[in-house]
Structure 1
Amino acid sequence: MRRILIGLNLFGAFFIILELFLKQQGKSICQTEGCQLAMGLARNENFILIIGTTIFLVLSLLFFLSKKRNLFPIIDVILIGVLSVEGYLIGIQFFFLSHLCSFCLIVGILFLIITLIYLFTYHRLTALAGIVSFIMVIFATYLILPMTGTLEEMAKICYIKGNPKDKWYLFVKENCPHCKKLLNYFLNYYKGDLKLYVCEAERCSLLLKKLGIKEVPVLLIEEKGKKEIFVGEQCILQGIEKKQLFPEMFFYQPQGTCGLNTCQ
């Protein structure tokens, strides 16, 4: 079994090295959207891959030397730490990004298999802590991270009139008077074709804050090949009329807004 553990770790190292090589060519083992989203969140994806390769190689060496020395406590610590990190990566992809990266999933499963074989071969009950931490961290991400999905899935209202080509997303807050005025305008007075998704700003707060937006209402217009964002009641109405983006809305206080936490 020791040889199998060494072989699995060497395979894991080779698997990540292959991904590193493909990254330099602008390619990847995983072509799923989940992989692109996961790596898009990473500050330095190559550094993460190098760390993963190093861990597999270190584990291979430790298992090789464990025949003559008692290196099991070191292996226990490494496996517990690695499985905790893998639990976080998988949890954030599943519950936050709503997409799983197949590459990350394969690496995580590989670490789990290594831990299980190690547990039953050497009867290291401390390795159970790694498996428990893997499960608990995934569960913790479910409890802590906000529910996410596509904007269409998160919308509380979808209003369609005519045959619109664009998608409009209106981010509102329940007690915001500016939001109520705009919503009333779109539902009752807007004369053009319209496909409007009304989203609660609280549920989409991470997205809005990532864009540097701290006020509502916000209108995101998704056209073919481009997106436009308008912040504030007056800016939205002017933007609809002129159909152009106002850069100043990000640098000057928008008029007719409510803060995400308090209304102005």
Structure 2
Amino acid sequence: MSAASGAEHADLRLLAPAVAAWAVAAATLGCTPGERGAVVLAAGVPAVGVAVASRSGRGREGLASWRGPLALLAVLVVLLQGAALAAGAVREAGGVRELADARAEVTAVVLVTGEPVRVASRSGEDRILRDATARLLTGRGRTSHVRAPVLLTGGAELTALRWHETVRVQGRLGPLERADDRVATLAVHGGVEPVAPPGPWPGGPSGCAPGCARRSTTPRPTPGGCCRGSWSATRAVPRRSSPRPCAPPG
């Protein structure tokens, strides 16, 4: 067997454990930490059993060929499930899920991370949905620093919020599926209090840098999302690079 064919054979043997590990990760998106622990044990026990049996002498040649793929599968499953557990611990730190399950009334400081989406409600009135990240949460007699992605729901007051603006809102938390990339919903009622303006980002989801399009009737965006001649696409802080920023092409 040539070196090229041997390398191809080895690659094909490594493909199956990788695909299986990712399939397990996709199937366990909505699992609790305890269920993820059970999945890790289920993946590790066969690998250990094959390794022990192959060394005992019974069917050594046949089992030895399975030892490597099963060991790789166990390692990949442990890594992926461990990463999911770590991400879940960060998202749910501060008791966010417990408050959401109890539908608690809270005051939250949130960072707006999404554009407004208008949907129709049962009453016929339009509702506004916006993604945000909760940074500070006060409810049930305690205040916690959190980093929980939430879905804001409310009225027209949510449309005026700017991307990456930090605001303080009051509302009621609600639970979401564990497979959702957000931890809870936050039904906003009352006013929205500004806390901090958007940071010095060179661009937002809408395209050119803030203020750039207002100074030019024909802005020409660069691959970094900024108007050429006005902002640098390689730095997070905007800086002028020519005496006439965003000048229309002559």
Please identify the structure whose Cα radius of gyration is greater: 2
TM-score between both structures, scaled by the size of structure 2:
0.32
Larger helix percent: 1
Relative contact order: is structure 1 or structure 2 higher (C-alpha 8 Å, sep ≥ 6)? 1
Larger strand percent: 2
